[in-house]
Structure 1
């Protein structure tokens, strides 16, 4: 399969490009002007998510599937235009389009565990993303094998938000959490997530949503403690009040870090045979890629 990967130089996209290449697929990376080589990619094409014409031009007839793993712009109209531009050449062809969303669209889950059928209740940082999801899934009605992947908080390879926890611990000399150590995060290793994308590309029916989560609800206090051990420090987590975190990080991101969720991904295991095998988040933080 020849796969165009949007965001192939990013945290998730780079792991995906490597996974697809290892599986024998031919990866075509879309990159901004000036980038001539991308790890795992057989070809690099020039484009930008803010340039719909360039996006459409990149989806040539030899492309069997498109994975959008690029970051959202924060502009609903721009992101919608990017989706339309990428899916336009795929309509009526049965070719695959995979869009990367995230579990924050589900909002706070309370005592329940959200699954793929749960209604969305997005927090402000992803407020318009459910509409983008609907736009993607609607393309299934026009002959696109369109699907949505919602990753949890991604860890592994020393990156992602958990890497920020390590940096905070190193700076403070103690673990740090936003608002409440009891807040729970759904977690997924970046390489397990790449495996899920590969399974979705191979077998997922059009119009479906898949959760990329290996651990439904990990207390952030446990993650912060493991991050501190990776940084070589100990102690009980210090709580960063939400208003102070918001002043430094911006209110939308601070709210996201304080979001309490429990999210399942049983559909991917049951219907796609997804079998995550990498270390859990706490182990990865304290003795794996962050140590």
Structure 2
């Protein structure tokens, strides 16, 4: 398949482009700059900016077999809706796939519920407040003959990046590993290469109108992540809980609330329905002795 990929130069997008190519697909990377990037191994490069929906007109040409929209949201619901319209219009009536990237933060705090699935109602925290509406806008394209799919990744790690890299850097800078909010906070996590394989499975064979959680480990205690981050940073002090109010002074209130969000989220449906087999090291092992 020839696949248009937004966010191709980003943390997840870089890994996904590699996995798509390895699976025999041709990646057409949508980039904001026309500067060539020959080392990426893309089939082609197309200039466009998801912050400017008008720049996407004509991006989905007849030879494009599918679209994976991985670029981060703009922060403006109208802009993001216009981007979906621009990318999906040419796919209508064709049965070609459109895969949209959301995230588990749309579920909000899961409370006492353990490993909540895709059927759980959304209760988004403020940083992703309007994203459930965008999810529904994407899934509605299934009625227009688009193989519309939504993937919700957990906290992504691996290749030395993602939010766990922040924990390592903060431990190195502060001399003590940190976690945020209450001691019992848990994060659903997924290795970036496992997540990339889920996107490949989704674009290849997920049915229209389906939603999938990209979660390898459903509820990793963030205190354990902080301890591992300290070891990766060469810091032996015990993890220190930082109140959300203090974290907000460093990260801003929206991101601080996200870091303190307690969740237990299942990725079992993708294993059963798509044959997804996440097999990379868990997040604690990866932070302690892997790419960090």
TM-score, normalised by the number of residues in structure 2:
0.98
For residues 75-127 of structure 1, the C-alpha deviation after alignment (integer angstroms, 9 at most, x for no partner) is 11111111111101111111100000000000000111210111100000000
Q: For residues 219 and 190 of structure 1, what CA distance do their matches in structure 2 show?
A: 19
Q: Give, in whole Å, the separation in 1 of the partners of 2:41 and 2:24.
A: 11
**Pairs within 5 Å for 1:19-30:** 19-30=19-30
The match for 2:263 among 261, 264, 286 is: 261
Q: Which residue of 2 aligns with 1:2?
A: 2
Which string of whole-angstrom CA distances, capped at 9 and with x for unpartnered residues, describes residues 23-46 of structure 1?
111000000123322613111000
Residue 86 (structure 2) pairs with residue 72 (structure 1): no
Q: Using the alignment, how far apart are the partners of 1:225 and 1:248 within structure 2?
A: 20
Note the C-alpha offset of 1:173. 1.2
Tell me what 2:48 maps to: 47
**2:137 is matched with which residue: 121, 124, 135?**
135
CA distance in 1 between counterparts of 2:207 and 2:47 reads: 30
Distance 2:164 2:255 in 1: 14
1:101 match: 102
2:165 maps to what in 1?
163
Verify: 1:235 aligned to 2:253, yes or no.
Answer: no
Contact 2:8 2:14 in 1 (8 A): yes
CA contact (8 A) 1:181 1:237 kept: no
- Report the secondary structure of 1:282's partner residue: helix
Task: Report deviation, 1:239.
Answer: 1.5
In structure 1, the residue corresponding to 2:238 is in which secondary structure? coil
Q: CA deviation at 1:55?
A: 1.5
Counterpart of 2:84 in structure 1 is 83
Unaligned runs of 5+ in 2: none
| Structure-2 separation of matches of 1:222 and 1:90 | 44
Report which stretch shifted further, 20-29 or 149-158: 20-29
Out of 184, 187, 191, the residue aligned to residue 185 of structure 1 is 187
SS in 2 for 1:111: coil
CA distance in 1, matches of 2:11, 2:246: 28
Cα separation, 2, equivalents of 1:151 and 1:117: 15
User: SS where residue 58 of structure 1 aligns?
Assistant: coil
Give, in angstroms, the shift of residue 235 of structure 1: 1.8
Report the equivalent of 2:128.
126
Helix, strand or coil at the partner of 1:5:
strand
How far residue 284 of structure 1 moved from its aligned partner, in angstroms, is: 0.2
Is this contact kept in 2: 1:56–1:88, CA < 8 A? no
Aligned to 2:57, the other structure's residue is in SS state: helix
Q: Which runs of 4+ in 1 moved over 6 A?
A: none
- Equivalent residue number for residue 11 of structure 2: 11
State the shift of 1:178 in Å: 1.0
Q: Could you say what secondary structure the match of 1:225 adopts?
A: helix
Match of 2:290?
288
Q: Does 1:246 align with 2:245?
A: no
SS at match of 2:245: helix
Contact residue 29 and residue 46 of structure 2 kept, 8 A: yes
Asked if the contact 2:34/2:46 (under 8 Å) is kept, the reply is no
Contact 1:242–1:254 (Cα < 8 Å) also in 2: yes
